[in-house]
Amino acid sequence: MLLVLLVGAWLLQATLAYWQAKRFYSRLSTLRRKGRCAVGQAGSKYRGKVFAVLAVDEAGIILNAERLSGLTVFARLQPVARLVGLPVSDLLSDWIEGLRPKLHTAFRQAAESLLAPAETETPAEGSEASVVVPDVSPIADA
């Protein structure tokens, strides 16, 4: 009986994690239509992770900034309005007032991806926009 409960809980967790990843990548797809996008990640398995998503225009101005943090699979991307309108290079040179260190690190990683040489970018087929996604996943490590 205990084994059945454990397998059921594991299947529920896997289903909810899939649902969260699907929502995350759906939102990322929407942001890609606005401009170039990148995802950054900071934190650890035990202290919690935070994911940061940036969308910038051709001039490198942040059009959209969102964060994903939380301990459950019900966490959603939340806007970070204080970054909208800033040059993406500001994330590399300045400390942004009001951002927690872990969140700033995640946004810095996303900014570094956006400012990296062009060969690291993958063009979206049939679109001028591109997305730069480091090898991170919004799904909690099992």
Which pLDDT score is estimated for 119?
Answer: 47
Which pLDDT score is estimated for 5?
Answer: 92
Which pLDDT score is estimated for 39?
Answer: 92
What is the full per-residue pLDDT of the chain (142 aa) written as tens digits?
Answer: 889 999 999 999 899 889 888 888 888 888 888 889 999 999 887 888 899 999 999 888 999 999 988 777 778 888 999 999 999 888 887 787 888 888 999 999 999 988 876 544 455 555 454 555 555 555 544 4
Which pLDDT score is estimated for 120?
Answer: 46
Contact 78, 50 (CB under 8 A): no
**Cα–Cα distance between 89 and 14 in angstroms, integer?**
37
Which pLDDT score is estimated for 117?
Answer: 67
Check residue 70 and give left, alpha or beta (phi > 0: left; psi -120 to 50: alpha).
left
Cβ contacts of residue 133 below 8 Å, gap of 6+? 28, 37, 38, 39
Q: pTM for this one?
A: 0.73
**Cα–Cα distance between 50 and 103 in angstroms, integer?**
6
**Cα–Cα distance between 93 and 39 in angstroms, integer?**
18
